[in-house]
C-alpha cells in the first residue's frame, strides 16, 4: 500500500508510491558526465572574459592576485535596480508593478569545470561568505522585501551556463508561495508555542532514520515527506528566522555540511541536476520566533507532470529513509 | 523595464521579463515531430493489448464493435482503492495515512499516433464525456475529497506513454496547494461579493487583448499574469464551482473549444509538450459561490529552476498579449 505523508512545517502532502518504489542506486545518473573544459574561451564567467560581464560588485583575490570568486549583476536581469516601487492602485482588477529588483550572480570559481561537490572547505566557505555579504547588503535597501539565494546545478535544473555559479534575487514583494509557508509555520507556533523547524530537528536527531549529516551548527536530513528522491534539508541547529542572522562560526559549519553533502551527491549519485534554495523569512522578520531559515536541495531526477502541478502533491518513488541510508554510506 | 504582474484569482506574482522577451514564433517546437506508428504492438494502450491492462471500467464502441475510448484503472497506481481512511492521531508530529485513492487512465483513442490537436469534434466530446462520467462516479465515494483530471502531452510534460491518454486521481485529502487557491478566491468573494473568475471573464471579454477563443459556453485566454509562454485558461461562462456541474450543452461547448485550442497548439506551435489540469473545487463544494472550475493548460517550453521553486514567482519571457494574438491568427 502506498503511503501519504505530510510535512509538518509546510502541511504539504506527498505520496510515497511504495508500489513502484525504486532503490537509491536506481537514481545514480548513468549518462557519462560531460567532460567540461578547465577553461572555456567562450564562457563569460571564465577568467579573461571579465569585460563580457557588467562591472563586478566585488571579487576575492588569491595571493597571486587572480580572482577566486566574483559577484556581478546579471547581464540579463529578470528585474532592474533603478526606480521606485510603483504599485498601481489596488482598485485596478489587474495589479502590476514595475520590475524593480536586483538580480546578481556569484561566480564561484575561476575554473569552468569546478563543482560544488569537489570544492575545498576554503572554497565552499568563500561561497557562504559571499551569500552572507550580498544578503546583508541587499536587505539594507528597504524597497526589497525578500532576498532569495539559489543555485541551479546542471541543465536538467534549468541552468544555461555550466560554469559553477549561484544567483541572488531581491524582490519588491513577498510572494504568496512564501507567505503560505510563513503562515503555516506561524500556525504551528501559535498552536504549540515553539518553532516547527526546531521540533523537526529534534525529531530527526532522535530517530536518526533520515539523518544524513550533522555537525555542531547544522543538520542535513531527508524530510519525512520528501517530494522527490534525495530531497535534502539543511537546517541551522540554533533558531534563526533569516539567513542574515548566521554567525561567523555557523558559516563555517554551513560550509562543512555543504561540502560533505555535495561530495556525497557528486560521488554517490554522479553529480545529479539539482536546485538549491535558501529559504529565509522576509526582510524585517529578523528574530521572528515562528520561522527558521533553511536550505532545500531539490534533485531533478524525475519530471513533475499534471498531477503535481495541479494538486501540489508530489508522487515520490523513493523512500526518504532509504535515500538517507544510502547517502550516509557514501 | 520588466513588469511584475499579479493574478487576481491566485495572488501569484509573475515577472514578465520584457528585457529578454521572445517573439511567439520563437516558441514553436523546431525538432522534427517524432513519427509515431499508427499502431504499436508493444503499447499496452493499443488494440490487441487489452489483456495487458487491468479490466476496463468502461469503453465506448463504434458501429464496427471496436472500442473508440477505454477507461481503465492505472496498472501502477499512485494510490490504491481498497481500505478506509486511516489517519493517524494528530498528536503525532509526523502525520501519515494509508495511500487510499483512485488512479484511472482514459485511453482517448485506439490509434497510437492520434493527438488531441487532430481529434474530430465527436472524438473530443467522447473525452469530455468520459471526464464527466468518471468525475461524477468518483465523487459518490465519500472517502475522496478531491478528484483531479489531468493530461500530460509529450515527454517534456512528464508522460511515459505516448499513446494519447488522460488521467484521473481521487485523493482522500484536499491538498494545501488547492486550499490556498480556494482561500484566495474566497477572500476576493468576501471583499467584493462576486466570483473573481466571473469578473476575470468579464474583463477579458471586454479588453479582448488576451482572448484566444470564445463560444456560447466557454472562453479561452492567456492569463494577465501567465506563468509560462502560452499558458491558457479555459473557463465556463456560467458560474459553477465543480467540474461535475457542467451541463450536456456545456460539454459540447467545452469539446469545441478544446478541439480549436489544441488544433492551434498543434499547427501553430508544432504540438508542444504541455500539461492540462482541470482545477475544480473539492467534492461537497458544489454550488459554492466563490470558486469557479476551469482548465489550466501549462506548456512546457521552458525549465523552471531554483528561483521559481523557491519563490513560486515565474519569470515569463513572453508577453501574454502577443501569445494570444499569435494563437488567434493560427
Most confident of A35-39, A302-306, B97-101, B170-174: B170-174
Specify the pLDDT at position B89. 58
What residue spans define the domains of chain A?
A: 3-80+98-329
Cα angle B220, B224, B228; round to 5? 85
Catalytic residue among A103, A163, A165, A292: A165
Q: Residues of B numbered 27-46 whose beta carbons fall under 8 angstroms of chain A's beta carbons: which are they?
A: none
Residue in A24, A33, A36 with CA at minimum distance from that of residue A271: A33
Confidence of residue B92 (pLDDT cuts 50, 70, 90): confident
d(CA A288, CA A242): 8
Confidence of residue A116 (pLDDT cuts 50, 70, 90): very high
Query: Who among B10, B152, B305 is closest to A306 (CB)?
Result: B152
State the smallest CA–CA distance between residue B64 and chain A in angstroms.
Answer: 34
Fold (CATH) for B3-21+31-81+98-329: HIT family, subunit A (3.30.428)
Which residues have a Cβ under 8 Å from the Cβ of A189 and sit 6 or more positions away? A195, A196, A289, A290
Q: Hey, are the CB atoms on A175 and B311 less than 8 Å from each other? A: yes
A164-178, B65-79, B88-102, B234-248: range with lowest mean pLDDT: B88-102
Look at B83 and A94; give whichever has higher pLDDT: A94
Q: What is the layout of strands, in order, in the sheet containing B211-214? A: B58-61, B67-73, B102-107, B165-171, B146-153, B274-279, B294-299, B232-236, B218-221, B211-214
A88-97, A293-302, B210-219: range with lowest mean pLDDT: A88-97
Q: Region A178-192: what's the mean pLDDT? A: 97
User: Which residues of A fall within a CB distance of 8 Å from B20?
Assistant: 76
d(CA A314, CA A252): 34
- Percent composition of chain B: helix, strand, coil (DSSP 3-state, to 5): 30, 25, 45
DSSP state of A133: H
Query: How far is residue A296 from each of residues A275, A278, B28, B54, measured CA to CA in Å?
Result: 8, 7, 34, 39
Residue in B115, B72, B81 with CA at minimum distance from that of residue B99: B81
d(CA A23, CA A301): 13
Which residues have a Cβ under 8 Å from the Cβ of B250 and sit 6 or more positions away? B217, B218, B236, B238
Confidence of residue A49 (pLDDT cuts 50, 70, 90): very high
- A interface mutation test: which of B305, B314, B317, B321 has the most A CBs within 10 A? B305
Specify the pLDDT at position B144. 95
- A305 in B contact zone (CB under 8 Å): yes
d(CA B78, CA A227): 14
State the smallest CA–CA distance between residue B279 and chain A in angstroms.
Answer: 7
DSSP state of B92: S
Q: Hey, are the CB atoms on B95 and A151 less than 8 Å from each other? A: no
- B310 in A contact zone (CB under 8 Å): yes
Q: Where is A100: in which H helix or E strand? A: none
Specify the pLDDT at position A33. 58
Q: Look at residue B91 and tell me whether its pLDDT is greater than 80.
A: no
Q: Residues of A numbered 150-179 whose beta carbons fall under 8 angstroms of chain B's beta carbons: which are they?
A: 150-152, 156-159, 167, 169, 171-173, 175-178
Residue with cell 522527490: A228
d(CA A81, CA A155): 28
User: Would you call B163 a catalytic residue per the annotation?
Assistant: no
Specify the pLDDT at position B273. 95
Mean pLDDT, chain A, whole residue set: 94
- A interface mutation test: which of B88, B106, B176 has the most A CBs within 10 A? B176
Confidence of residue A89 (pLDDT cuts 50, 70, 90): low
d(CA A161, CA A178): 27
Query: Who among B156, B180, B311 is closest to A171 (CB)?
Result: B311
Q: Look at residue A18 and tell me whether its pLDDT is greater than 80.
A: no
Confidence of residue A209 (pLDDT cuts 50, 70, 90): very high
What are B254's three cell numbers? 467545452
Q: What is the pLDDT of residues B137-151, one digit of tens each?
A: 999 999 999 999 999
Q: What is the pLDDT of residues A195-207, one digit of tens each?
A: 999 999 999 999 9
Q: Residues of A numbered 226-265 whose beta carbons fall under 8 angstroms of chain B's beta carbons: which are they?
A: none
Confidence of residue B86 (pLDDT cuts 50, 70, 90): low
Extended beta strands in A74-190, E state: 95-98, 102-107, 146-153, 165-171
Query: How far is residue A295 from each of residues A149, A236, A240, A241, A255, measured CA to CA in Å?
Result: 10, 9, 13, 12, 12
Query: Who among B3, B157, B178 is closest to A311 (CB)?
Result: B178
What are A96's three cell numbers? 502590476
Q: Look at residue A32 and tell me whether its pLDDT is greater than 60.
A: no
Query: CA dihedral defined by B144, A5, B152, B54, rounded to 10 degrees?
Result: -60
Reduced 3-state DSSP string for B172-203: CCCCHHHHHHHHHHHHHHHHHCCCHHHHHHHH
d(CA B242, CA B132): 11
Distance of CA B317 to the CA centre of its chain: 22
Query: Who among B18, B19, B277 is closest to A310 (CB)?
Result: B277
Q: What is the pLDDT of residues A118-133, one digit of tens each?
A: 999 999 999 999 999 9
Q: What is the pTM assigned to this prediction?
A: 0.95
Catalytic residue among B163, B165, B239, B294: B165
What count of other Cβ atoms lies within 10 Å of the Cβ of residue A177? 18
Report the chain B residue with the minimal C-alpha distance to residue A202.
B93
Confidence of residue A91 (pLDDT cuts 50, 70, 90): low
Query: How far is residue A179 from each of residues A173, A174, A191, B60, B179, measured CA to CA in Å?
Result: 10, 7, 18, 47, 14
Q: Region A262-283: what's the mean pLDDT? A: 96
What ipTM goes with this model? 0.94
H helix count then E strand count, chain B? 6, 14
- A200 in B contact zone (CB under 8 Å): yes
What are A311's three cell numbers? 494538486
Q: Region A209-218: what's the mean pLDDT? A: 98
Q: Look at residue A65 and tell me whether its pLDDT is greater than 70.
A: yes
Looking at chain B, the whole-number percentage of residues with pLDDT higher than 70 is 97
Q: Look at residue B73 and tell me whether its pLDDT is greater than 80.
A: yes
Task: Give buried/exposed letters for B303-321 (b at 16+ CB in 10 A, else e).
Answer: bbbbbbbbbbbbbbbbbbe
- A80 in B contact zone (CB under 8 Å): yes
d(CA A261, CA A142): 35
Task: Quote the CATH superfamily of domain A3-80+98-329.
Answer: HIT-like (3.30.428.10)
Q: What is the pLDDT of residues A245-270, one digit of tens each?
A: 999 999 999 999 999 999 999 999 99
Asked if residue A236 lies in contact with residue A250, where contact means CB atoms within 8 angstroms, the answer is yes
Q: Hey, are the CB atoms on B146 and A19 less than 8 Å from each other? A: no
Q: Region A58-82: what's the mean pLDDT? A: 93
What are B214's three cell numbers? 470564445
Q: Region B155-175: what's the mean pLDDT? A: 95
Amino acid at each position: 500500500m502506498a503511503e501519504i505523508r505530510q510535512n509538518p512545517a509546510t502541511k504539504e502532502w506527498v505520496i510515497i508510491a511504495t508500489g513502484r518504489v525504486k532503490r537509491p542506486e536506481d537514481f545514480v545518473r548513468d549518462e557519462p558526465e560531460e567532460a567540461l573544459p578547465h577553461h572555456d574561451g567562450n564562457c563569460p564567467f571564465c577568467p579573461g572574459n571579465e569585460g563580457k560581464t557588467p562591472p563586478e560588485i566585488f571579487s576575492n583575490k588569491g595571493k597571486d592576485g587572480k580572482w577566486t570568486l566574483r559577484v556581478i549583476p546579471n547581464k540579463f536581469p529578470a528585474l532592474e535596480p533603478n526606480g521606485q516601487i510603483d504599485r498601481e492602485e489596488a482598485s485596478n482588477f489587474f495589479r502590476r508593478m514595475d520590475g524593480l529588483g536586483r538580480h546578481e550572480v556569484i561566480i564561484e570559481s575561476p575554473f569552468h569545470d569546478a563543482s560544488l561537490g569537489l570544492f575545498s572547505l576554503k572554497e565552499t566557505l568563500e561561497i557562504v561568505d559571499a551569500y552572507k555579504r550580498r544578503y546583508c547588503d541587499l536587505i539594507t535597501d528597504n524597497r526589497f522585501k525578500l532576498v532569495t539565494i539559489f543555485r541551479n546545478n546542471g541543465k536538467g535544473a534549468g541552468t544555461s551556463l555550466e560554469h559553477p555559479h549561484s544567483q541572488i534575487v531581491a524582490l519588491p514583494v513577498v510572494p504568496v508561495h512564501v507567505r503560505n509557508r510563513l503562515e503555516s509555520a506561524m500556525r504551528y507556533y501559535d498552536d504549540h508555542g515553539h518553532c516547527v523547524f526546531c521540533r523537526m530537528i529534534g525529531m530527526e536527531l532522535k530517530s536518526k532514520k533520515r539523518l544524513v549529516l550533522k555537525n555542531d551548527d547544522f543538520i542535513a536530513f531527508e524530510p519525512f515527506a520528501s517530494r522527490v528522491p534525495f530531497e535534502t534539508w539543511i537546517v541551522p541547529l540554533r533558531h534563526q528566522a533569516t539567513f542574515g542572522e548566521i554567525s561567523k562560526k555557523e558559516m563555517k559549519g554551513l560550509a562543512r555540511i555543504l561540502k560533505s553533502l555535495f561530495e556525497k551527491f557528486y560521488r554517490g549519485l554522479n553529480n545529479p541536476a539539482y536546485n538549491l534554495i535558501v529559504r529565509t523569512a522576509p526582510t524585517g522578520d529578523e528574530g521572528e520566533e515562528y520561522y527558521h531559515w533553511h536550505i532545500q536541495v531539490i534533485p531533478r531526477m524525475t519530471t513533475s507532470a499534471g498531477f503535481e502541478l495541479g494538486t501540489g502533491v508530489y508522487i515520490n518513488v523513493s523512500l526518504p529513509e532509504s535515500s538517507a541510508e544510502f547517502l550516509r554510506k557514501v
